Structure 1
Amino acid sequence: MATCSATSAAILSASSKPKSSSGLPSRPSLSFSALRKPILSPSLSSSCHAVTSKRPSFVVRASANELPLVGNKAPDFEAEAVFDQEFINVKLSDYIGKKYVILFFYPLDFTFVCPTEITAFSDRYEEFENINTEVLGVSIDSVFSHLAWVQTDRKSGGLGDLKYPLVSDVTKSISKAYDVLIPDQGIALRGLFIIDKEGVIQHSTINNLAIGRSVDETLRTLQALQFVQDNPDEVCPAGWKPGEKSMKPDPKLSKEYFAAI
């Protein structure tokens, strides 16, 4: 509990840069104060206020030219990344027609929840590889910061060697394209996207800063996606796992599933 409360302190005080004992600016402190207030993009904040000032509403209406990410083509990007302690170039469209992609964003290098997620995906990487899936991690840090973190031992809060690339989004353009950037803090929420072989986003989940994600649930969702794509006349009920009974999306045939549970 002490660790959690200490972790929930404040995020990126960019205006003040205290000096370390070496005389160099120290790293900005990280907090998860965003948990305590909603995050609204500038384009939505005024319209939301207008709606809620008239009557309570749970609906935010997007403009006509805005499409949901899920069900549409994933925004392509090309960026530097660190893999196997080297700098490489990663282009999302290189995977189209070849692999599924797990694309996940995290706030910052050298933080607390982030290394638990990053190393968890690395430790389970073979399970994704076995079902033709690549994993890509993204943050707004530079490749130099990524490299230093990879070269830091896990017992000291580092990552050690990873089995997939860490992408650098220093321009924040990737985070913006996937709608996970917190504008006034300059970092990304914990967004995760499953992209199929055709480059279409089939799943997304976005956690606030203090909440880590589940590799188990990501893998299960990916397996369900692959099942329904291989079996277009089937759908997966809640909590479905490989080998379990699926369902026919038909008023009569679906009763076979309900009768069996």
Structure 2
Amino acid sequence: MAFAAPSTMLSSSASASALSRKSTTPMAFSQTLAVPRAFNGLRRSSHRSRPSRALSARAPSSKRTFVVSASSEAPLVGNTAPDFEAEAVFDQEFIKVKLSEYIGKKYVILFFYPLDFTFVCPTEITAFSDRHAEFEKLNTEILGVSIDSVFSHLAWVQTDRKSGGLGDLNYPLISDVTKSISKSYGVLIPDQGIALRGLFIIDKEGVIQHSTINNLAIGRSVDETMRTLQALQYVQDNPDEVCPAGWKPGEKSMKPDPKLSKDYFAASD
């Protein structure tokens, strides 16, 4: 199968749920296989559970907090991540993955991709797998999700990377054949039945702290995901500080105060 990607890119760090209502840009989806900017989908191909931490630290009540606590009607960021239980492929076996089993234990990077056996998707999936050990050191698990079956996932994992496959992965690939998970995270394109490239960082308390959603033709950055995770963990460990643009571990943070923030600006070039 092939489809042409829409011309716009959707990227958000706050309003994932609104997206499900607005992602109406149509994409041509044909039985044939020919699209330069998107990709094709083949399918076909085998159950165990495997999971990923820091508490969503809240600033003391006497201080102003910069942590958003959203209502269920608000954007997904700041809300408890929708729980799910689904079949997945890991270590070439079929397993069960339940998001709530990670709560209180690990951070989770949950990312959605459109289809197996496509073009941009394997570059993202393998890139996250190759960096899995780095996320593990940050007490974080990675979970990939698409609307394909576990049989399709297994076949893709059993295909060599040089042939467009994934090879062995260091994290589970979840099957969302009912499309219920994609819908609950606001990334499902209803008329196409596939998900946009949504990525969510969920903290140890099960709260979504970050989301980004790309259109189909644009791959995501593992480096930026790592940097955002590190910034999140830093501010949760230091609730009286915030991270400025492009902050990385070891760099100067900022006090969210009109007077104290001047120390940061004064030290800047």
Q: Does 1:196 align with 2:169?
A: no
The question of 1:125 aligning with 2:120 is answered no
- What is the correspondence of 1:11-50 to structure 2 with a 5 Å cutoff? 28-32=1-5, 34-35=6-7
Q: Which amino acid aligns with 2:247?
A: W
Q: 2:241 touches 2:256 (CA, 8 Å); kept in 1?
A: yes
Provide the residue aligned with 1:69 in structure 2: 76
Q: 2:246 aligns with which of 239, 246, 258?
A: 239
Query: What is the RMSD of the two structures over their aligned residues, measured on CA atoms?
Result: 2.0
The reply on whether 1:228 has 2:235 as its aligned counterpart is yes
CA distance in 2, matches of 1:41, 1:212: 19
Residue 109 (structure 1) aligns with: 116
| Partner in structure 2 of residue 100 of structure 1 | 107
CA drift at 1:67: 1.8
Letter in 2 for 1:149: W
Give yes or no for the alignment of 1:248 onto 2:255.
yes
1:131 CA drift (Å): 0.5
Identity, % of aligned positions? 84
Q: CA deviation at 1:42?
A: 6.1
1:87 equivalent in structure 2: 94
Contact 1:35–1:209 (CA under 8 A) maintained in structure 2: no
Q: What is the letter of the counterpart of residue 4 of structure 2? A: S
Residue 220 (structure 2) aligned to one of 198, 213, 220 = 213
Q: Which amino acid aligns with 1:153?
A: D
Structure 1 pair 187–132 and aligned structure 2 pair: CA distance change class (3 A): same
Does the CA contact (< 8 Å) of 1:224 and 1:242 recur in 2? Answer: yes
SS in 1 for 2:3: coil
CA 1:142–1:155 in structure 2 vs 1: closer, same or farther (change >3 Å)? same
Which amino acid letter does the alignment assign opposite residue 155 of structure 1?
K
In 2, Cα distance between equivalents of 1:184 and 1:142: 19
Q: Deviations over 1:156-185 (max 9, x none)?
A: 000000000000000000000000000000
SS of alignment partner, residue 2 of structure 2: coil
- Look up the match of 2:192: 185
Aligned to 1:169: 176
TM-score, normalized by length of structure 1?
A: 0.79
Counterparts of 2:196 and 2:214, CA distance in 1: 6
| Larger-gyration structure (1/2) | 1
Is 1:155 aligned to residue 127 of structure 2?
no
Q: Distance in 2 between matches of 1:243 and 1:91?
A: 35
- Counterpart Cα distance in 2 of 1:40 and 1:192: 13
Which runs of 5 or more residues in structure 2 are unaligned?
Answer: 11-17, 25-70
Give structure 1 stretches of 5+ with no counterpart.
1-27, 46-63
**Residue 41 of structure 1, CA deviation:** 5.3
Give 1:232's aligned amino acid. P
State the shift of 1:29 in Å.
2.0
**In 1, distance between residues paired with 2:72 and 2:267?**
44
Shift of 1:70: 0.1
Q: Secondary structure at the match of 1:35?
A: coil
Q: What is the CA distance between 1:260 and its match in structure 2?
A: 0.5
Question: In structure 1, what is the Cα distance between the partners aligned to 2:72 and 2:23?
Answer: 14
What is the one-letter code of the residue matched to 1:142? Answer: S
